[in-house]
Structure 1
Amino acid sequence: MFSKGRSIVTGPLPIGWAMRLLQVNVGRVQTRTNARGREETTGIGKHPVTGPVGVGPAGLDGDESAYRSRDIGDTALHGFAVESYAALESRFGQALPRPAFGENLLFAGYGDADARIGDVLAIGTALVMVNQPVPRCGWPGVLTGVKALGPQAMKAGTPGWYMQVVRAGIVAAGDAVDLVQRGDAAWTVARLNALLLNKHPDPAVVAAALAHPILADRFKKELRAS
């Protein structure tokens, strides 16, 4: 369906909108001390890599996750926006390392309010699809020393997002990012994140989200439990 790449954009885009991949980050699972002082395995510790990196249904070559089974492919890639770093650094009054959130792909010009469920992005020779926000855990705070950074990022409307791989390929830091298919404007990552945080959500909105054919089942379970 997407083999011809960059010719099927649907939905308006801002004039002059340019997107780029700033970092490609990978990391192996390690044992670390969590926020409660207990030893636990985690893949939060990513590091930037230079040059081409293969990406397939389970994510980037050389990358691991401790508690996200990637057999389904719904959390193959984790995206975050450099603009979100700027907003959070202003909020906390201090610099944050990159990557602080365990993200695989750091974007410029594409953030939580831009990203829609069902967006298909061409990066290098790969195609990836946005399918859910990231429900944040405590590891970003442990990694950075900023208390509750993960939940605070959600409250700030900058949770980041997960993507599945539509077409395997090669990506590299510096690649242009092209939007080749646009998701429904009603279902941005930012809106779904806000819905997850809402203690008294509109049942009709929740039902509509649960009926979305592309929104990952893993996130639908989070909505049902919230």
Structure 2
Amino acid sequence: MHQGHVRSVNIGRPRPNPWKRLPATGIDKRPVAGPVAVTAPGPKGDGAVGLAGDRAYDVKHHGGADQAVYAYAREDLDHWERQLGRPLPDGAFGENLTTTGYDLNSALIGERWRIGARLVLEVSCPRIPCATFAGWLGEKGWTRAFTRAALPGPYLRVVEPGEVAAGDRIEVVSRPAEHAVTVASSFRALTTEPELLPALLEVAAFPAADREAIRRRLTRGA
């Protein structure tokens, strides 16, 4: 099926987080020499993520099984380099995996990727921009620009643990046949096009807590 490659594997370096009044943030991710072990981190709440050596510090909003790994395409970083007129190295958006050769935003929620020999990841939900991301980029109007572009990149959960290294092939081994909800369309539903929200309720692979929040939102709006 569709194939791409891992261009770099990026691990966070803790640094102060003045944008959320938290003691630290792990958004400053830099390429590391692999391979890096990837395992399922368990529920959100303690900062655990999928890649060994990395962690989340905003434990309320980040980390946990549904946000174990974040991927962003080098092609989309190149788009932002042109838009912003500045270099954006691999890891600049806080992504664990910088990829090439596959349109990550067209990936279906619930599709599965085999990376390297053993690792299997499942697309769970899009990244939603936060104050830390906006502060880290330091671009005026960044949250609005990122939202308008609808190039969020996916969070992924770990289905089968393994290792990942730069150069590993990404093979899409399964795609849901029962829906057509993509990373990009789910992002638009959650941000600029709420009329798309009902479709997310039918996607079993979309995080359960998020589906419940959508259900409550739609009920209030009824």
TM-superposed CA distance for 1:225, in Å, is 5.1
- Residue 199 (structure 2) pairs with residue 216 (structure 1): no
Give the residue type in structure 1 aligned to 2:29: K
Alpha-carbon deviations, 1:178-224, whole Å to 9, x = none?
1101135611101111111225x32xx42221231111134435645
Structure 2 counterpart of 1:67: 58
Q: 2:92 aligns with which of 100, 114, 125?
A: 100
Relative to structure 2, which stretch is displaced further, 179-188 or 124-133?
179-188
- 8 Å CA contact 1:133, 1:189 repeated in 2: yes
**Residue aligned with 1:131, SS:** strand
C-alpha separation in 2, matches of 1:72 and 1:137: 17
Instruction: Flag the 1:151–1:121 CA change in 2: closer, same or farther, 3 A.
Output: farther
Report the equivalent of 1:27: 12
Q: Which moved more, 1:185-194 or 1:87-96?
A: 87-96
The alpha carbon displacement at 1:40 in A equals: 4.3
Unpaired stretches in structure 1, ≥5 consecutive residues:
1-12
Q: How far, CA to CA, are the matches of 2:30 and 2:213 in structure 1? A: 28
User: Which is worse superposed, 120-129 or 21-30?
Assistant: 21-30
Mean Cα displacement is larger for which, 132-141 or 73-82? 132-141
Moved more, 145-154 or 84-93: 145-154
- Secondary structure, in 3 states, of the residue corresponding to 2:130? coil
| Identical counterparts, % of pairs | 33
Tell me the equivalent position of 1:10.
none
Please give the TM-score of this superposition, normalised by the length of structure 1: 0.80
Higher helix proportion: 2
Unaligned runs of 5+ in 2: 42-49
CA contact (8 A) 2:55 2:63 kept: no
Corresponding letter in the other structure for 1:195: A
Q: Distance in 1 between matches of 2:122 and 2:22?
A: 34
CA distance in 2, matches of 1:216, 1:174: 29
Change in CA separation of 1:112 and 1:195 when aligned onto 2, cut-off 3 Å: farther
Q: In terms of mean alpha carbon deviation, does 134-143 or 118-127 score higher?
A: 134-143
Q: Distance in 2 between matches of 1:141 and 1:111?
A: 23
Q: Are 1:136 and 1:151, in contact at CA under 8 Å, matched by a contact in 2?
A: no
Q: Are the equivalent residues in 2 in contact too, given 1:28–1:64 (CA < 8 A)? A: no
Q: Secondary structure at the match of 1:113?
A: helix
> Over residues 129-187 of structure 1, what are the superposed CA-to-partner deviations in whole Å (9 max), with x where a residue is unaligned?
00100111132332233234344222211111100000000110110111101135611
* 8 Å Cα contact 1:32-1:39 kept in structure 2: yes
Whether the aligned pair in 1 keeps the contact of 2:72 and 2:98 (CA below 8 Å) is yes
* One-letter code aligned to 2:87: A
- Measure, in 2, the Cα distance between the counterparts of 1:178 and 1:33: 39
Give the conservation status (yes or no) of the 8 Å contact 1:138–1:151: no
Superposed, 1:99-178 pairs within 5 Å as 99-124=91-116, 125-178=118-171
Identify the match of residue 51 of structure 1 among 14, 28, 34: 34
Deviations 1:102-126 (A, max 9, x none): 1111111223432110110011220
TM-score normalized with structure 2 length: 0.82
CA, structure 1 residues 54+94, in 2 after alignment: closer, same or farther (shift >3 Å)? same
